[in-house]
Structure 1
Amino acid sequence: MEIVRYVEQGGTQPKVGVRREGKIAPVRYGSVAELLQEPLDALRAGLEPAGPEVDAATVTYLPPVDGRTEVWASGVTYERSRAGRVEESVQASVYELVYDAPRPELFLKSVAWRVVTDGEPVAVRADSEVDVPEPELAVVANSAGEIVGYTVCNDVSSRSIEGENPLYIPQAKIFSGCCALATGIRPAWEVDTADLAITMKVVRDGATAFEGETSTARLHRTLEELVQVLYAPTDFPDGAILSTGTGIVPELSFSLAEGDVVEIDIAQVGTLTNPVVRGREPLAWLVDAYERPAARRKGQQ
Structure 2
Amino acid sequence: MRIIRFLRDGSFPTLAAVTDESFVYVLPQSDFMELVREADERNSTPLALVLKTIADSQPIKGKLEELELLVPLEAAEVWACGVTYERSKEARNYEATGGKLDSTTFYDKVYEAKRPEIFFKSTAARTVGPNQDVYLRSDSNWQIPEPELGLVLSRDGRIVGYTAGNDMSCRDIEGENPLYLPQAKMWRGSCSIGPAIRLAETVDDPYAFRIVCRIYRSGEKVVEGTASTAQLKRKFDEMVSYLLQDNTIFDGTVLLTGTCIVPPDEFTLAEGDRIEIEIEGIGVLANPVKSQAAGSLPV
TM-score (norm 1): 0.86
Aligned residues: 284
Contact 1:145-1:239 within 8 A present in 2 as well: no
Contact 2:153–2:161, Cα closer than 8 Å, also in 1: yes
**Distance apart, 1:270 and its partner CA:** 1.8
Between the aligned partners of 2:278 and 2:65, the Cα distance in structure 1 is 20
Q: Which residue of 2 aligns with 1:70?
A: 77
Give me the whole-angstrom Cα distance separating, in 1, the residues matched to 2:194 and 2:250: 22
One-letter amino acid matched to 1:150: Y
Does residue 43 of structure 1 match 2:46? yes
Indicate yes or no: 2:239 matched with 1:226. Answer: yes
Q: What residue is the counterpart of 1:98 in the other structure?
A: 110
Residues 42, 131 of structure 1: alpha-carbon distance in 2 compared, 3 angstrom cutoff: same
CA deviation after TM superposition for structure 1 residue 42, in Å? 4.1
- Tell me the equivalent position of 1:129: 141
Match in the other structure for 1:3: 3
Give SS of 2:88's match.
Answer: helix
Deviation digits for residues 135-164 of structure 1, max 9, x if unmatched?
111111112211111111111111111111
8 Å contact 2:80–2:120 — kept in the other structure?
Answer: yes
Alignment of 1:102-121 (within 5 A): 102-121=114-133
Q: Secondary structure at the match of 2:119?
A: strand
**Aligned counterparts of 1:198 and 1:24: Cα–Cα separation in 2:** 24
Find the counterpart in structure 1 of residue 201 from structure 2. Answer: 189
Aligned mates of 1:204, 1:17 — CA distance in 2: 33
Displacement after TM superposition at 1:90 (Å)? 4.8
1:36/1:239 contact within 8 Å kept = no
Deviation track 1:191-246 (CA, whole Å, cap 9, x = no partner) reads 22222221111111222222211111110001111112112222223231111000
Secondary structure of 1:17's counterpart equals strand
Distance 1:106 1:280 in 2: 30
Alignment of 1:194-233 (within 5 A): 194-233=207-246
Question: For the Cα contact (< 8 Å) 2:77–2:250, is it kept in 1?
Answer: no
- More divergent stretch after superposition (125-134 vs 273-282): 273-282
Q: Is the 8 A contact 1:37 1:237 kept in 2?
A: no
Tell me if 1:153 matches 2:153: no
Alpha-carbon shift at residue 254 of structure 1 (Å): 1.0
Once the two structures are overlaid, the 10-residue window that deviates more, 145-154 or 204-213, is: 204-213
Structure 2 segments unaligned to the other structure (5+ residues): 99-103
User: Residues 109, 72 of structure 1: CA spacing in aligned structure 2 closer, same or farther, 3 A cutoff?
Assistant: same
Give yes or no for contact 1:176–1:283 (8 Å, CA) kept in 2: no
Give % identity.
40
Q: Secondary structure of the residue that 1:97 maps to in structure 2?
A: helix
Asked if residue 31 in structure 1 is aligned to residue 31 in structure 2, the reply is yes
What is the aligned partner in structure 2 of residue 80 from structure 1? 87
- Aligned residue in 2 for 1:295: none
Change beyond 3 A, Cα 1:147–1:214: same
**2:24 is matched by which residue type in structure 1?**
I
